[in-house]
Structures are given as structure tokens and as C-alpha cells.
Structure 1
């Protein structure tokens, strides 16, 4: 994440600086007050438009204010539909359960049950870890370098980022960190290292309840797990009696090119965590998918006051019916992903950088957090909201809405190219002159 010195551009921004906690983050990179949004366009209070390549950090895969979801939600509210339902049966929840089962689970041969808890991704991770530990009777969890799973205590224990871990003054325990695919470079088999460690009773690693990972590490730097790595981990989990948990919170709901980021590997995780774009509309909603044999919580053993956000159920169902009734949307995502890779590849090649990521979750590794921050700031000056990622914030990361028009997408990538040119070429031109 960028961490510029905050310089509010409007009186409204100054209000936030005066009244809001210092923990605020994204607003420091984008010092204006936004008023409205439509698909991939944000508009501030002065009427200036910005192309959105952040999309709520992948919480808005379907863009801002999709008209069909908005209409479904407005109709539901106007009919006095239940807003807050705890985990009681409601018409809105039933409709979502049926739609998700019919459109997502059954076509993929999955019989996972849906569990709702608090409405954030971290809530889903906490529930998944707790469930895996109860189901196996074990405590230890294998997590990976550069992984990001949230900042609540259990999820933070599995998160690798040093600055975020430093924010906790409690002991972050119950997790053994292993190397993610490619962490040690080419020629080092991280999966085999894990298998060897788990197979040796003197390795010092306790038998794990679960192996937890992202298929694409979003905040960790757009590191991508290969098909082979994921398949090996699935086999290793079974071999050693651990559950495989896939954190699909940022990479899910189409961001990878498929609904789930693990589909291309042909594996079936025991537990899957989802949030961010699950509601489709940016409303808080998270879910844990769990194979029936591991659905072992007793009633209310794990819960959350806002696990019954019926407005989110309404928009989530509308998203499924609009975008996942067939494979047309997924095909269009892959087309745009190919275009994104080509455009970023051309920019990266000009400066000796490399493109990282998969699907519509890609970025350019600049090798420097300061450099990436300058590039993102230059892009914002030109009307583009874009952020960084990576252990040192060295990646300029594109998370455009999957529904972005081709014209807007091209213009946004033009701005990315202009920002790179401004930051990396301008000093050379001055020196030459």
C-alpha cells in the first residue's frame, strides 16, 4: 500500500484529517473526496473523473453500482425486505443459497456447504482456521511466505507482512511458515521441501490441521502458484492428514479468469474462504465453503452478529444470475486478461521490469517501493486510481473491474504508460538537455 504524506486537496479532505484515525490508508494516496461512481469511473466533489484500477481492492469485480444489482436491491428495500436476520431463515438467503449451489457448486461437481460468519475476509479466515483445528484435533497451520490473510490475530499469525505483524503486541502463534512456490527461485521445489519436513518426525514441525494459501498472492506481490504446486499441496495435505484451505478472498469471483482461482489446477479444496466481491455490490459479506464431512461446528459454536446481511444476499444472487449463468463472462475476462498482459508486458520491457500475476490480477514489478509509489502518484494526477503491492510495495498493481469497457481499459493503461514515462524517463531527459 502507498504511504504518501497526506496533503488534502479539498476542505472535505481536511475534515477527515482532523477527525478520522491516523490508521486510514488508501485516502493518503488519493487526496480527494469522491462523490459518485459508475462501473470503472469515480467522480469527486469537484466533478473530476478518475478511472478506477483499484476496484475496492477487488471488492468491486463487477464495477460500481451495477444497474441490475442496484435495481434488485432498491426493489428489495422498498418492499420492506428483511435487512438484518442473524442466521434466521429468510427468503433472500434461501434464494442466494439455491443460486450459488446451482450456478457455481453443482457445475463444478462440488458439494461444499456454505457457512456465514462476520462479513469480512478476515472473519472467514478465522472461521476456517478454527474449523480445521476442530475437525482434525490439531493446532498447527502451514502458511506461506508473502501470504496475506487478514489482520485479526488468528489471520495475522498466518500473514507474512512484517509491518502488519508488527501492529500486534500479542503472540502470533499456531502457524509454521513455509516457502511459497518460487520463493527460493528456479530449481527449488518448495512443495517437496514441505513434504520432507512433514514426513520427518524430527523436523520440529507439528502435524498440521491445515495448509492455507492463496493461489495468487495479491498483497504479497502477485506471486502465482503453478498448477503443479497446487496439485502437490493437495496431495501433501491428504498424505499428512491436513485440510487444504484456499483463501480465494481477493482472487475469487472471476478475478483469475475462472470463478475460483484454483479451478485451473483441477483440485478440490476442503475449505474455501470468500469475501470481497462475493456480494457483487461492495456490500459486506463473507462465506466459508466446507466439505460436509468437516462441517463439525455445533449450533452457535462460531457465529457473528452480521452474518445475515440480507441486502448482500440480494445483490450476490443478482450477480450470479447476470454474470455466471453461462461461460460468456469468464471468456470475456480471459480476453481482457490477455490484453492486460500484453499492455503491461510492453511497458515492463521498456524499463527492464517484469509482469507478475494471473488473469485480471497483474502488475509490474519495479523493484522499488519508492519508484512504484511515484508512478501511482503520477497516474492519480492524470486521473487514474491505482495502488501498489508486494513486500516492499514495489508492484504497480492493476485491479480494474472485470466489467470495464474496452475503451476505458485502454485509456487507463495509457495513463499507466504515461506515468511510467514521467517518473522513469523525465530525469534522463532533463540531464540530456
Structure 2
């Protein structure tokens, strides 16, 4: 997809300004986005990239999708697009609440906030309100956000937690195999201790796209019910279709008590079984109540388009093609594993150094991917991706990853 020098002069000027005046956070490589169309991102120097990240799942319909553009146009002259969403009502809030209820477990209600971390924060607050200020149980390799509450239960990389205070927690292994000897660790804890909740992802995002074993998730559901502890599932990255189902937990034939989602929804959301409703006004609140009216309108449109265009089915089909093509790389040139569900696929390398080198090389060959975990590469294309685009991306990956 490359058309000019990467990075170009305009990009370097923007990056220079950022490094001078802003905190140099988690930027992966020297991409300065200008605009995009379909599954293609163009930078400010005119370089084009095939996007296998969908901005960590936040752009499930790619870029410049006609339905989204039409929705955005409706707000071009609306001066009240950002309101205090928990103090005043608006149609967009009601529409999104009604729309998401069609894809949530029966009997769930939703609270909208700004981000995935806030969605997790409110999920654990709902559990604490019901259970009291007890320790929570969470997993090794987990990532639940950077706010201090969510960060307490994150256990992905030391740099994310060093010197920050934490809420009390008990850690269990995130089991990816049914025969893992630690698969009953949560029950062993609950036999001796009370807990406010069990919190886990089904597919770990930042942790490396590790896919939970079916027995592990099934056991957590049974154990949570047995000991009267709410099961919280974090679907911030995996939710809204990336795995080929609306929610990753649907692959496991279980339901959570409380869940978090964001990214593809455009806003943060904490959804919960009605029996966990705090039942008291002002226990939960958020200044913007879901970002703004535009975000909520786009989020509702995303759900409609996924339904109408059968994009869950497309994610399943394209994911199979993607995974099959990546499996051909396993055992070669430091590629050690491929795993995932639908269009949420992780590629494991033998070292972080090799992974990082290949991320940069793929970028310079016009393909966007991202790192995850200690030495994994995450691949999460938009749900609208076509077979031709998958094959184009695979062609670049085979060319780049098979080089020494």
C-alpha cells in the first residue's frame, strides 16, 4: 500500500511537536493519521495502509462508512451535541439503551459512561454495592484499564502498575487449557475467603489475545453461582462482534452477572442483570453519560449495520481465512503460535525483539498491526473486511515475516 517515504516529512513534524509538548505514551510507530476509507487509513503524507487493527476494535465498520457519515452529518449544526448525560435526557441515550438491550442477555440493564476503564470501574462498583468492600478475584495477564480501580485488577505488564496503589485482590491463573492444574483456583480461594466478585476477560486483549479454555469459563460461572459471587466479564475489546458473536462469552454458553464493553460501541457501557441494580439514585453517575450525543448515535448505528449486513457471519468467515493463512507461518522464522476467535487473532513470536521488529516492518510495507502481551501481535481487522483484503494482508505478512 506504500506510496511515499515512511514516515514522511509532515508526519515527522507532527511527531516532533508531540514529543516536545505532550507525554510520549504508547505510540507504536510513526503513523500520523489523516483520513480513511473502508479498511484503508491514509497518513498526512499520502501513504496508505491496510488496517488490521480497527484501532483496537474501536472502528468495527472501518472508515468513512456511508451510514456513519450520514449519522455524523445530522449533528453538523446541532450545538447541543455534548450534554451532561446523567442530568438531562436525550433521544440518543434512549435509543442506544434500547438497541443494546437487543443483543444483551435477557433482563439486563445498561449504564453508559465514557470509556472501557470506566465501564470496568462501574462494574466493580456494582458488585461492591451488593457484596461489600471485599477483595476481588482476577487473573494473571489481565488488562482492565488504567484508572486506579480497574488497574488494581490489571496484571499485564509491570510498567502499568509500578508505584500505584491497589484495591485488595486475589489473583488466579488465566487458564487456556482444560487440563490446567490450576483450573479450580477460584474455588480454592472461595472455600476459605469471601470475595466481592470474580473478574475476567474471555479473550485477553492487552495480555496477548489468550483464549480462555471452555472448562475455565464454565467453572468460573458454576463457582460464582455456588458461592453467591457475581461474575464480571470484561468485553471492552472482544465485544460487539469481533469474535463472530456479539459477545465472546457466547462461545462458552454462559452468561455473566455484570459486564463491561466499549471500543466498538463508541462509548463505555456497564451492563448488569437487573438483580444487581443498585436501586438507589446517584450510586452511579458520569458527567457525560456516554461521551456525547454523537457517540451514542454512532454506537446505535454500529449495532444496526452489523445486524443488517450480517457482519457477525462475515467475521466468522473472514476469521477462518485469516487464521488458516497465519497457521502456515507457525514454526517458521520465530512464529510459535496462532490463536483467537473470529477476527480477533493473536500471533505469538519467540521474542519481543522479533515481534517489535516485524511490527515496524509490516508498517513500512503498508500493513497496520499492533503488539499485545509480552511477545504477541494482535490482528483485529474491521468487521467489513473482504476476502481480497484478508489475502492482501496475508501476502504482506508472509513476505515480511518470512524474512530473516
Q: Same fold (TM over 0.5)?
A: yes
**Other-structure match for 2:68:** 69
**Other-structure match for 2:159:** 164
For the aligned residue pairs, the C-alpha RMSD in angstroms reads 2.0
1:10 to 6, 9, 12: 12
CA pair 294-412 structure 1, distance change in 2 beyond 3 A:
same
8 Å CA contact 1:209–1:241 kept in 2: the answer is no
CA pair 229-186 structure 1, distance change in 2 beyond 3 A:
closer
Q: Please say if 1:40 is aligned against 2:27.
A: no
Alpha-carbon deviations, 1:308-336, whole Å to 9, x = none?
4211111111112221248x321111001
Distance in 1, matches of 2:178 and 2:295, equals: 43
1:155 to 146, 150, 154: 150
8 Å CA contact 2:152–2:167 kept in 1: the answer is yes
Q: Please say if 1:120 is aligned against 2:111.
A: no
Distance in 2, matches of 1:359 and 1:344, equals: 13
Distance in 1, matches of 2:83 and 2:285, equals: 14
CA pair 170-79 structure 1, distance change in 2 beyond 3 A:
closer
User: Could you say what secondary structure the match of 2:72 adopts?
Assistant: helix
How far residue 300 of structure 1 moved from its aligned partner, in angstroms, is 1.8
CA pair 125-146 structure 1, distance change in 2 beyond 3 A:
same
8 Å CA contact 1:357–1:363 kept in 2: the answer is yes
Distance in 2, matches of 1:7 and 1:190, equals: 50
Alpha-carbon deviations, 1:150-196, whole Å to 9, x = none?
111111110002323444x33213111011113xx673243323213
The TM-score normalised by the length of structure 1 is 0.86
2:345 to 362, 366, 369: 362
- Considering fraction of residues, name the structure with more helix: 1
How far residue 7 of structure 1 moved from its aligned partner, in angstroms, is 11
**Other-structure match for 1:191:** 183
After TM superposition, the structure 1 = structure 2 runs for residues 277-292 of structure 1, keeping only pairs within 5 Å, are 277-279=264-266, 285-292=267-274
How far residue 216 of structure 1 moved from its aligned partner, in angstroms, is 0.2
8 Å CA contact 2:242–2:312 kept in 1: the answer is no
The TM-score normalised by the length of structure 2 is 0.92
**Other-structure match for 1:49:** 48
**Other-structure match for 2:23:** 21
**Other-structure match for 1:91:** 91
8 Å CA contact 2:123–2:232 kept in 1: the answer is yes
Distance in 2, matches of 1:82 and 1:411, equals: 39
1:250 to 237, 256, 277: 237
**Other-structure match for 1:402:** 383
Q: Please say if 1:294 is aligned against 2:280.
A: no
2:220 to 201, 209, 233: 233
**Other-structure match for 2:355:** 372
Distance in 2, matches of 1:350 and 1:362, equals: 18
CA pair 233-250 structure 1, distance change in 2 beyond 3 A:
same
8 Å CA contact 2:210–2:346 kept in 1: the answer is no
